[in-house]
């Protein structure tokens, strides 16, 4: 049986890294064979693209350039890591995927959604996540949580940008049943326990 494809999305400072650790711990506990990976990234070239994407450049980087970069990375990642693992029955847990492109480049940078949809179809063909967790947090709280951190090019954007990112994710969530929205403004133990509960249900339904 093909492995299951789980993605984790969240605004900056939403506790994505910690929740990802708990997610993996829960799968281990249930003896699910899985790999953990991330986007942009997950292969040698895709990680190099990630560095270019997040670096601060003197020249202007357009939203369309970002879309093309993340989809080039995604093609490598799908071909060399995601598909082979799913095909051999291994589950794939991915820190961000195409929903991030719709939220960051589509909604926040204003790239035409049709372009993203076309690339999505072209690159992914019939492959979509089976389950997506979205850690939701208001931009004010997101900002205060990441204050003082060293920021990359995306994290250096303003509150209006992150408001749009959030709306982009919420819009996507409404259109897709695979989405599970977690209110990340709650204490971490509550968020983690919610995630665990949803994940255990999913594992039970899919094994």
- Interface with ligand TMP: number of residues (CB under 6 A): 11
Q: Pick between residue 72 and residue 200 the one whose CB is nearest to ligand TMP.
A: 72
Contact flags string 146-165 toward ligand TMP, x per CB under 6 A? --------x-----------
Nearest-angstrom CA–CA distance, 4 and 21: 18
Q: Contact with ligand TMP (CB under 6 A): which of 46, 70, 81, 82?
A: 70
Q: Pick between residue 32 and residue 135 the one whose CB is nearest to ligand TMP.
A: 135
Secondary structure (H, E, C), the chain: CCCCEEEEEECCCCCHHHHHHHHHHHHHHCCCCEEEEECCCCCHHHHHHHHHHHCCCCCCCCHHHHHHHHHHHHHHHHHHHHHHHHHCCCEEEEECCHHHHHHHHHHHCCCCHHHHHHHHHHHHCCCCCCEEEEEECCHHHHHHHHCCCCCCCCCCCCHHHHHHHHHHHHHHHHHCCCEEEEECCCCHHHHHHHHHHHHHHHHHHCC
For position 20 contacting ligand TMP by CB under 6 A, the verdict is no
Q: Pick between residue 46 and residue 86 the one whose CB is nearest to ligand TMP.
A: 46
The CB-of-174 to ligand TMP minimum distance in angstroms stands at: 19
Q: Pick between residue 42 and residue 203 the one whose CB is nearest to ligand TMP.
A: 42
For position 180 contacting ligand TMP by CB under 6 A, the verdict is no
Q: Pick between residue 34 and residue 104 the one whose CB is nearest to ligand TMP.
A: 104
- The position carrying tokens 């490598």 is 76
For position 19 contacting ligand TMP by CB under 6 A, the verdict is no
Q: Which of residues 89-118 bind ligand TMP (CB under 6 A)?
A: 95-96, 100-101, 104-105
For position 39 contacting ligand TMP by CB under 6 A, the verdict is yes
The CB-of-132 to ligand TMP minimum distance in angstroms stands at: 12
Q: Pick between residue 47 and residue 130 the one whose CB is nearest to ligand TMP.
A: 47
Contact (Cβ atoms closer than 8 angstroms) between residue 127 and residue 95: no
Residues composing the chain: 207
Q: Which residues bind ligand TMP (CB under 6 A)?
A: 39-40, 66, 70, 95-96, 100-101, 104-105, 154
């Amino acid at each position: 049986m093909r492995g299951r494809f789980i993605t984790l999305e969240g605004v900056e400072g939403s506790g994505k890294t910690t929740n990802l650790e708990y997610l993996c711990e829960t799968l281990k506990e249930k003896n699910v064979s899985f790999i953990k990976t991330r986007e942009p990234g997950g292969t040698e070239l895709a990680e190099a693209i990630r560095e270019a994407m997040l670096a601060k450049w003197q020249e202007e980087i357009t939203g369309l350039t970002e879309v093309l970069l993340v989809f080039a990375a995604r093609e490598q990642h799908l071909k060399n890591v995601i598909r082979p693992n799913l095909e051999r029955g291994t589950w794939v847990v991915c820190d961000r995927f195409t929903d991030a492109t719709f939220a960051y480049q589509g909604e926040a940078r204003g790239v035409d959604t049709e372009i993203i949809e076309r690339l999505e179809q072209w690159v992914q063909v019939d492959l979509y996540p089976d389950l997506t967790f979205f850690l939701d947090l208001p931009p004010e709280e997101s900002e205060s949580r990441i204050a003082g951190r060293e920021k990359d090019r995306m994290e250096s954007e303003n509150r209006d940008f992150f408001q749009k990112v959030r709306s982009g994710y919420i819009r996507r969530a409404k259109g897709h049943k695979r989405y599970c929205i977690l209110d990340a403004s709650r204490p971490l133990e509550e968020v983690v326990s919610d995630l665990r509960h949803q994940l255990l249900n999913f594992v039970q339904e899919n094994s």
